[in-house]
Chains A and B, each alone.
Chain A
Amino acid sequence: MMRAWLTQHGFVFFHTLKRLASTPVTTLLSITVMGIALSLPTGVYVLMENLQSISGQTAGSPQISLFLKQDASKEDIDKIQQRLQEDSRIVNYQFISKDSALIQLQQSSGLTDIAANLTYNPLPDAFVVHTRENTSDSLEQWKLTMQSWPEIAHVQFDSAWVDRLNVLLKLGRSVVLMLATLLSISIVAIMFNTIRLQILTKRDEIEISKLIGATDGFIQRPFLYFGAIQGLCGGITAWLIIAWGIDALNGELMPLTQLYGLEIQLRYLSLQDSISLLLFSAWLGWLGARISVASHLWQIEPE
């Protein structure tokens, strides 16, 4: 029984492959369309994953850096220190003199080459402030106040760009979701129509099979296989498109990374994400076929 079942499914599987191969142009076109559709949301997703892992490496606790003017005097420094001392919003602060900043710079990875060639110290004195304040509104307010102090050249939230990136990533996630939803629906619709046409051309076969005792399951099987296999092929195409895209982007990034001594390399889809992509695309194809079969097969009743 089990063996008969396996032979039956194996038969349908290979029969479906043969059917796909018998119309190579149509098959390739539909697979390409599906692959491109799937590669759009997946591609955005991969880019975001990469951005996130890059930002994850650099994100620290939120802090404020106060850069003094290049010509700030000892008194200026004391004045600032005074004000910081009195501010209850501040957890702690640290003074970094221009000299120690330069030493830090010289020791920091990746920038040694630049720092070694400096003939003078371009860095200002600075305070690094840790604060309780964590709403971006009040931080923004505070920043404006400090910016207005005459001794201060520049105020910077060290977490600002990370925040911005996070907002961007959130936006990106919504875009991925929207793209994925819309394109998934379109893939289901494409498959629905493909199977509808197939059912029409196989009308006689379906009718006769029903007449001699084929179950609905038997009649549906080849169409469901067709949908799932074509969906899977679409998923594989999408994977290849993305791999190719990442290769191309990494090629573009190469001169940049060499210039700055940075180690940035975009990664491919993870194994888990790859498997998810393939399963999902096969499922989409199957679903389109399933809906089509459910809405068209019953119309073919033997007479």
Chain B
Amino acid sequence: MPENLLKRFWIERYNEQNPMITFKNVSKRYPDGYIALNNVELEVESGEMVFLTGHSGAGKSTLLKLIAAIERPTSGVIAISGQNIAQLKSAAIPYLRRKIGFIFQDHKLLFDRNVFENVLLPLQISDFDNNTAMSRVRAALDKVGLLKKEKVMPITLSGGERQRLCIARAVVHRPAILIADEPTGNLDIEYARDIMAMFKSFNQVGVTILIATHDASLLDDTQHRILSLKQGKLAA
């Protein structure tokens, strides 16, 4: 079964010696000619938690999408635990994405499915057996405090609750890397701190985390590394 072979391939390629995420000379030019990233150099160690800031349009989302091969680089090398994903065949991309939990800036929730079913989706796509899947979904919902709302449709959730639903879906399959694009956008400071605490607890169990935000208040009291993007270039 090719699926198995691909999984094993990933596990074998997984190498503690390599940084979790490496960008070498990465540029991204969109089809309309706009250069969103310009010669970005970046390393994120396994188990690190890193913030990515920058003005609107600086290229934060673009950089995060490159990691999950949602966008492909125009030039340069992107490696995830030593594996160059710029050369990844499209059939292998799903297995890269399953290593990553992605919290999208525009949420990407399914509004015709309830909370539980939304969180179940990442497990369904990777052929989890039913019982394991059920208990994992409940565990993830419990972690973000949405267990009581598992039957509710996402349309009725508040902004903060939706954000937490996105987090539950991103962590339910226990990814090695968690990527969050503006996870606290539009949320008041109380909610935002709540969510940051959640990320910290994930990081404490070894998950590599990359968070894009322009919310300066989140960054004031952090000891974590902060990368700053300006016009597609990474400032020192």
Interface residues of A (CB under 8 A from B): 1, 3-5, 7-8, 11, 204-205, 207-216, 218, 302-303
User: Residue of B at shortest CB range from A3?
Assistant: B129
Could you list 5 further interchain pairs (A-B, Cβ under 8 angstroms) beyond the known A7-B130, A209-B121? Answer: A208-B108, A208-B109, A208-B121, A213-B126, A215-B3
Q: List residues of B (196-217) whose CB comes within 8 Å of A's CBs.
A: none
**Which residues of B are found within 8 Å of A207, using beta-carbon distances?**
108
User: Residue of B at shortest CB range from A8?
Assistant: B127
> What total of chain B residues lie within 8 Å of the partner, measured CB to CB?
30
In angstroms, Cα B68 to Cα A207, docked, is 14
**Which residues of A are found within 8 Å of B126, using beta-carbon distances?**
213
B70 is an interface residue with CB less than 8 A from chain A:
yes
On whether the beta carbons of A213 and B110 are closer than 8 Å, the reply is no
State the Cβ distance, A223 to closest chain B Cβ, in Å: 15
Stretch of B96-104, B140-148, B187-195 that contacts chain A: B96-104
On whether the beta carbons of B122 and A213 are closer than 8 Å, the reply is yes
Interface residues of B (CB under 8 A from A): 1, 3-4, 68, 70, 91, 93-98, 100, 102, 104, 108-112, 121-122, 124-130, 169
Partner of A1, one of B1, B95, B124: B1
In angstroms, Cα B92 to Cα A215, docked, is 9
On whether the beta carbons of B110 and A4 are closer than 8 Å, the reply is no
On whether the beta carbons of A209 and B125 are closer than 8 Å, the reply is yes
On whether the beta carbons of A4 and B125 are closer than 8 Å, the reply is no
Partner of B4, one of A1, A8, A204, A214: A1
On whether the beta carbons of B110 and A208 are closer than 8 Å, the reply is yes
**Which residues of B are found within 8 Å of A218, using beta-carbon distances?**
125
Q: Which 6 A-B pairs have the closest CB atoms?
A: A213-B97, A214-B125, A213-B98, A213-B94, A215-B94, A4-B129
* Max count, chain B CB within 10 A of own CB: residue among A207, A212, A214, A303: A212
- List 26 A-B pairs, Cβ < 8 Å: A1-B1, A1-B4, A4-B127, A5-B127, A7-B129, A204-B111, A205-B112, A207-B108, A208-B108, A208-B109, A209-B125, A210-B94, A211-B108, A212-B97, A212-B98, A212-B122, A213-B94, A213-B95, A213-B96, A213-B97, A213-B98, A213-B125, A213-B126, A215-B91, A215-B125, A216-B91
On whether the beta carbons of B121 and A212 are closer than 8 Å, the reply is yes
State the Cβ distance, A288 to closest chain B Cβ, in Å: 24
User: Residue of A at shortest CB range from B95?
Assistant: A213
State the Cβ distance, A201 to closest chain B Cβ, in Å: 10
State the Cβ distance, B162 to closest chain A Cβ, in Å: 14
In angstroms, Cα B113 to Cα A209, docked, is 13
**Which residues of A are found within 8 Å of B121, using beta-carbon distances?**
208-209, 212
In angstroms, Cα B80 to Cα A9, docked, is 32
**Which residues of A are found within 8 Å of B94, using beta-carbon distances?**
210, 213-215
